[in-house]
């Protein structure tokens, strides 16, 4: 497991007037944060994006908290919970005295209202509903006791319940309809979101009477900051310049090539490897010409992931060694050394009957070797550049790749229809069960499963709380995806956060996103 870069943010030691890293936290003030991606809908039940979670994590609390260091589950809004032996039902005992910021009480009925809403098709959940796959209803025993039931085992449900996606929102706020919740989610969290105007920034204000922080947090009460203002600044140069000139206090997604310069200027760059599915290219074995395992293996061997990652990410993002990232429970190192080997790739393609033509392309029975890559846009982390390099690397062995940029919604629909040839995906979740999420529901660009034993391995893992069995099954699934060359892992997504000199106490949550609950500013 990768070391987690979780620490109170110290100051640069180059300036003499900055306080010591262990200085006493100071209350008050506003932290301005510049992020690169517009979060769009701010309802975690609807939106699947990390950009949205960045905002909503501080607004909604969850039943359970996951420790960012040990990844153990700890109480939060639930004081305790038990799982049925077959992992089909979970009973939570709730904390009392918790209220939502609109005054509505948090109780068993509220938990039921939240889960019922997530699976309701009218909510149009893009992710949360898949974490509740097989949901069979919630029963309220008394105001403090609630049982969530599933039709099939779902051992990782408590972990799923620790994410903001399954966070608790005020049932009273649901009445205004899903679009209203997108603009203003109402939770019981340490921050309260103001109604968001389209495309504008987002303002989070301190909830002064907050005192139910999770066991995993240093700070259980109200946040130090009065306000967090989140601005959307897509242009990398402008975002980084704004940090350097102290126009903002912290910036999201420092471009890897800027990390050293920002550090040299006396700013801190916090790095956190994200758990979940690595950035992976996927080949659909159900579509010609990828139905031939030799063609898929040739493509996997023709891509020089090491060179890609070094050039594009300058060593700031690690090369992926499996479908799961190194920071994910259940990760197994499959590709200790890179599988890049153009000679072997050419041989495999020759064996598969794709003969090299005079112009360097390959063809079989007069048909050119060509693959369409449904590329999800807007692309982050320079994935558009990455795609072009992959295109060139594959061209070198005679595989023609056509890039077909597509919005996420359409890509999901295309994957669901089975029309995808080649796709790309990454997915954040601190549990190996994320494999089930992307392999069994039609995520956009998700890998196709060829080995018949994979679904069985995943549901067996979901049915046991025995970590050794789960790890073993997840390792088999990772190996199967890579050996069948339906998945080609490229890099482990890593959050690079630039922090100004006056900012302290930003920590990463287990999903690898910055949290402002314990942050403070010295000025």
Partner 1 sequence: MRRAGFVLRRLASAVPVLLAVLTLSFVMMQLVPGDPVQTMLSGAGPAPTPEQEQALRHQLGLDRPLHEQYFGFLADAVRGDLGRSVQTGQPVVSAIAAVAPASAELALFALVLSLVFGVGIAVLGRVTTGPLRSLCHGVPVVFMSTPGYWVALVLIEVFSFRLTLFPATGDKGFAALVLPAVTLALPAVGVIAQVLGTSLAAVDAEAFVVTARAKGAGRWRVLLRHALRNASIPTITLVGTTVGNLLAAAVIAETVFARPGLGRLTLQAITNHDIPVLQGVVALLGVLYVVVNLLVDLCYVLVDPRVTADRIRD
* Interaction site with partner 1 (CB under 8 A): 34, 38, 40-41, 48, 119, 121, 124-127, 129-130, 133, 178-179, 182, 197-201, 231-235, 237-238, 241-242, 244-245, 247, 377-378, 407-410, 412-413, 416-417, 437, 441-443
Residue 64 beta carbon to partner 1: minimum distance, rounded to whole angstroms: 21
The closest alpha carbon to 48, from 382, 506, 376, belongs to: 376
Nearer residue to partner 1 within complex by CB, 397 or 439: 439
Pick 243 or 285: Cβ nearer partner 1: 243
Question: Between 40 and 353, whose beta carbon lies closer to partner 1?
Answer: 40
Min CB(419)–partner 1 separation in Å: 12
| Contact between residue 243 and residue 226 where contact means Cβ atoms under 8 Å apart | no
E-strand ranges in 399-504 read 400-407, 422-428, 487-491, 494-499, 503-504
Alpha helix positions (H), 128-227: 128-131, 157-160, 171-174, 178-183
φ/ψ of 404, rounded to 5, equals: -120, 90
- DSSP secondary-structure letter at 222? S
Give the DSSP letter of residue 166.
G
Residue 486: count of CB within 10 angstroms of its CB: 28
Alpha-carbon span 344 to 365, nearest angstrom: 22
Least distance from partner 1 to the Cβ atom of residue 303, Å:
27
Number of other residues whose CB lies within 10 A of the CB of residue 350: 15
φ/ψ (deg, to 5) at 410: -70, -35
The secondary element (H helix, E strand) that includes residue 355 is strand 355-356
Burial class (CB in 10 A: 0-12, 13-18, 19+), 200: exposed
* Residue (65 or 430) nearer to partner 1, CB: 430
Cβ within 8 Å of residue 173, ≥6 positions away: 100, 102, 104, 180, 181, 184, 185, 186
In angstroms, the Cα distances linking 464 to 62, 130, 159, 327, 509 are 23, 19, 14, 21, 26
Closest CA to 108 of 142, 83, 157, 68: 142
Neighbours of 217 (CB within 10 A): 19
CB of 247 to partner 1, least distance (A): 6
User: Measured from the CB of residue 234, what is the shortest distance to partner 1 in angstroms?
Assistant: 6
Backbone angles phi, psi at 204, to 5 degrees: -110, 130
- Is 199 or 337 the residue whose CB approaches partner 1 more closely? 199
Length in residues, the chain: 523
Instruction: CB nearer to partner 1: give 60 or 129.
Output: 129
Smallest separation, CB 287 to partner 1 (Å): 17
Question: Which tokens in the block code for residue 110?
Answer: 């509220």
Q: How far is the CB of 95 from partner 1 (least distance, A)?
A: 29
Between residues 345 and 411, which has the closer beta carbon with respect to partner 1? Answer: 411
* Least Cβ distance, residue 267 to partner 1 (angstroms): 14
Q: How far apart are CA 156 and CA 147, in angstroms?
A: 15
Name which of 78 and 228 has its Cβ closer to partner 1.
228
Name the minimum Å distance from CB 46 to partner 1.
Answer: 9
Q: How far is the CB of 186 from partner 1 (least distance, A)?
A: 18
Which of residues 295 and 438 has its CB atom nearest to partner 1 in the complex?
438
Of the pair 137, 143, the CB lying nearest partner 1 is at 137
């Amino acid at each position: 497991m990768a070391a987690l870069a979780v620490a109170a943010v110290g100051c640069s030691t180059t300036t003499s007037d900055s306080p010591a890293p262990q200085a006493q936290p100071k209350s008050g003030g506003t932290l301005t944060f510049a992020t690169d991606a517009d979060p769009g809908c701010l309802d975690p039940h609807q939106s699947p994006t990390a950009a949205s979670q960045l905002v909503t994590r501080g607004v909604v609390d969850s039943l359970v908290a996951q420790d960012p260091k040990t990844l153990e589950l700890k109480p939060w809004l639930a004081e305790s919970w038990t799982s049925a032996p077959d992992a089909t039902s979970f009973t939570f005992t709730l904390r009392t005295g918790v209220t939502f910021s609109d005054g509505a009480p948090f109780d068993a009925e509220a938990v039921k209202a939240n889960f019922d809403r997530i699976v309701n098709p009218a909510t149009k959940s893009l992710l949360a509903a898949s974490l509740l796959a097989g949901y069979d209803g919630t029963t309220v025993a008394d105001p403090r006791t609630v049982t969530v039931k599933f039709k099939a085992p779902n051992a990782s449900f408590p972990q799923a319940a620790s994410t903001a996606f399954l966070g608790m929102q005020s049932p009273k706020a649901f009445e205004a309809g899903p679009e209203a919740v997108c603009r203003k989610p109402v939770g019981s969290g340490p921050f309260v979101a103001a109604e968001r105007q389209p495309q504008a920034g987002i303002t989070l204000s301190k909830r002064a009477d907050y005192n139910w922080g999770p066991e995993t947090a240093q700070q259980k009460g109200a946040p130090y900051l009065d306000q967090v203002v989140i601005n959307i600044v897509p242009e990398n140069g402008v975002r980084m310049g704004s940090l350097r000139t102290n126009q903002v206090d912290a910036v999201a997604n420092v471009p890897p090539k800027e990390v050293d310069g920002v550090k040299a200027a006396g700013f801190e760059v916090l790095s956190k490897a994200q758990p979940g599915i690595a950035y992976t290219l996927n080949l659909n074995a159900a579509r010609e010409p990828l139905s031939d395992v030799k063609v898929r293996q040739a493509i996997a061997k023709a891509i020089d992931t090491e060179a890609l990652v070094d050039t594009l990410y300058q060593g700031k993002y690690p090369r992926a060694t499996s479908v799961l990232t190194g920071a994910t429970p259940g990760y197994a190192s499959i590709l200790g050394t890179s599988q890049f080997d153009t000679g072997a790739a050419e041989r495999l393609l020759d064996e598969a009957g794709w003969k090299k033509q005079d112009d360097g392309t390959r063809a079989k029975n007069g048909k050119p070797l060509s693959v369409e890559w449904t590329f999800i846009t807007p692309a982050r982390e320079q994935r558009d550049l990455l795609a072009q390099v992959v295109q060139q690397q594959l061209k070198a062995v005679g595989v023609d790749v056509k890039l077909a940029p597509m919005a996420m919604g359409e890509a999901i629909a295309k994957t669901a229809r089975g029309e995808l040839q080649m796709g790309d995906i990454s997915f954040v979740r601190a549990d190996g069960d994320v494999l089930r999420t992307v392999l069994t529901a039609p995520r956009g660009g998700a890998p196709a499963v060829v080995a018949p034993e994979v679904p069985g391995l995943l549901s067996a893992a979901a049915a046991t709380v025995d970590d050794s069995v789960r790890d073993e099954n997840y390792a088999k699934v990772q190996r199967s995806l890579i050996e069948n060359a339906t998945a080609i892992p490229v890099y482990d997504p890593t959050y690079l956060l630039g922090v100004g000199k006056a900012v302290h106490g930003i920590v990463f949550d287990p999903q690898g996103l910055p949290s402002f609950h314990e942050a403070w500013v010295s000025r």
